[in-house]
A and B are shown apart, each in its own frame.
Chain A
Amino acid sequence: MAKVIGTVEIDSAKCKGCNLCVVACPTDVLALRAKEVNDRGYHFAYAADPEKCIGCASCALVCPDACIEVYKVISN
Chain B
Amino acid sequence: MSSKDLFEIARTIADAARPGEQLEAYVVRSRETEVKVFNGAVESLSVAEAAGIGVRVIADGRQGIASAGSLDADVITETLADARDNATYGAPDAGYGLAEPRDVEGVPAPDLDLWRDDVLGTPTAEKVALAIAADRAVLAADARIRGVESTDYGDAALEMAMVASTGVSATMARTMSSVGTSAMAGERDATQTGYGFDVRRSFGELDVERAATMAAERATRLLGATQPSGQRLPVIFDPMVTASVLSLIGSALNGEAVLRGRSMFADRLGEIVGAGSVTIVDDPTNPDAFGASPFDGEGVRTRANTLVRDGRLERFLHNLYTARRAGAQTTGSAVRSYASTPGVGARALHFLPGTKSPAEVMASVPEALYLQSVSGLHSGTNPVSGDFSVGAEGLMVRNGQFAEPVREVTVASTLPRMLLDIVEIGSDLTWLPGGTAGVTLLVSEMTMAGA
A and B: interacting chains = no
